[in-house]
Amino acid sequence: MLEYIYVVRHGFRSNWIVNPESGEYSANIPSPTGIASDPALASYGVGQSEALAEKVVSFDPPVDVVISSPFYRCLQTVKPAIAKLSAKRQGSVNIKVENGFGEFYGRARFDHPSPASLDVLHEHFPHMLDLHYEAVIVPSTNGETIDGLHNRVAYALHRVIAAIDNDPSGPKTLLICTHAATMIAIGRALTGSMPEDPAEDDFLCYTCSVSKFVRRRKGDGKDDSVSVDDWNREFPDDIPIVGWRGGKGVLGGWDCKLNGDTSHLENGAERGWQFSGDEAFMADPNAYNDRLNTIETVDTEIETERKGSRL
C-alpha cells in the first residue's frame, strides 16, 4: 500500500530557444538525445543532483519505486540517487519512465518536440530503466492548456498510484522526478487544492527541491481505479476526469508535509517558478530562452541572478 510520495524537480539545465512563428527549436549546446528542447543538466545542476541523492537515500521508509519524466534532465537528476539506492540495497533499482509527468508546453500552432524514445534513453542510461513499463498517458504534441496539464497529471497519478497499491510486493514509498509546472500540478492533484488563480504561489518547485506527501486514507484504492476510464492514445486531448478537486485529492487525498525543501542544497532555494495565468504558447516560459538555466552563464552572474529569481 503506497503511503508516501516524494516529488523532486530536475536541477539547473542547459538551454534552448524556439522561434514562436515557425516552431523551430534550436540549442547552442547539442542535446544528448539530439532533441533541442531536451538538454542535459548544467555542471551546476549535476552538483545539485549529487546533493539531492544524499537526501533521497536518507528517506525513511526508503524509496521503493522511482518514476521519472522522459526528458533527459530528469533522468540525469535521479541518476546519482539510483546509484546510491542500488548500492545500499545491493541490487539494482530501476526507473519507470512516465510521460504523464513530462514537461508542460502551452498551446501552439505547431507541434512541440516529443521526448526521446525509451530505446534511445536506454542507450544513455543503461541498466537504469524499466524497459517493460509502459506510460499511462502521453501529452499531446500540440501542447496543453493549464487546466489540461492538471487533468493529465491527475490521471497519471491515479493510474500510477492504483498500480502500486495493487503490487503484491507492497511498495510504500514513491519518488517522482519532474519539471516545475508539473511539480506544482502534482501537489494540487494530490491534495485536491486548486486555487482560482493558477499563478498562486502554493506548491514550491525550486531546482532539485523535495516535496513530501503523506496519504490520508489507508484504503486499497481498487474501487476508485475502476471508476476512471482508460486514456485513449488516438485522442490524446480527451483525458478521463479524475475527481480530485475540492479538497478530495487523488485516491483519497494526500497531505503535504514538505513543500519544496532545499535544506540539502548548498545555495538553498533557486529558480522558483509560477504559472503566468495565460495558457497561450506566447506566454509559455518553458518555450523561451532562459539565461538563468544556461551553462554559458558565468559564475558571478549565477550568484547574483539566481537568488529568488522567477520567470
Residue 292 lies in a domain: yes
- Mean pLDDT (whole number) for 286-298: 39
Residue 291 has pLDDT above 60, yes or no: no
Per-residue pLDDT tens digits for 10-20: 999 988 787 77
In a domain, 311, yes or no: no
Within-domain flag for 81: yes
pLDDT, mean of residues 154-177: 97
- Give a yes or no: residue 267 inside a domain: yes
Query: In this structure, is residue 58 part of a structural domain?
Result: yes
What is residue 29's predicted lDDT score, i.e. its pLDDT?
87
Q: Which of 53-57, 72-76, 189-193, 231-235 has the lowest mean pLDDT?
A: 231-235
The pLDDT of residue 51 is 98
Q: How confident is the model at residue 86 (pLDDT cuts 50, 70, 90)?
A: very high
- What confidence tens digit (pLDDT) does each residue in 197-230 have? 998 999 999 999 999 999 997 554 444 544 899 9
Question: For the chain, what percent of residues have pLDDT higher than 90?
Answer: 68
When pLDDT is cut at 50, 70 and 90, the band that residue 139 belongs to is very high
When pLDDT is cut at 50, 70 and 90, the band that residue 133 belongs to is very high
Question: pLDDT value at position 292?
Answer: 41
Supply the mean pLDDT for the chain. Answer: 86
310 in any annotated domain: no
Cα radius of gyration (the chain)? 18
Instruction: Name residues whose C-beta falls within 8 Å of residue 21's C-beta, 6 or more positions apart in sequence.
Output: none
Say yes or no to pLDDT of 297 above 50: no
What number is the average pLDDT over the span 268-295? 58
Is the confidence at residue 119, as pLDDT, over 50? yes
Answer yes or no: is 255 within a domain. Answer: yes
CATH number for the domain harbouring residue 142: 3.40.50.1240
Residue 87 confidence (pLDDT): 92
Question: How many domains are there within the chain?
Answer: 1
Neighbours of 246 (CB within 10 A): 9
Asked whether residue 298 carries a pLDDT value surpassing 60, the answer given is no
The domain in which residue 66 lies consists of 4-305
- Is 153 a residue whose pLDDT tops 70? yes
pLDDT confidence bin for 258, thresholds 50/70/90:
very high
Query: pLDDT tier at 277 (50, 70, 90 boundaries)?
Result: low
Residue 146 lies in a domain: yes
pLDDT digits (tens, 9 = 90+) for 30-84: 899 999 889 999 999 999 999 999 999 999 999 999 999 999 999 999 999 999 9
Model pLDDT, residue 205: 96
Given a cut of 60, is residue 154 above it in pLDDT? yes
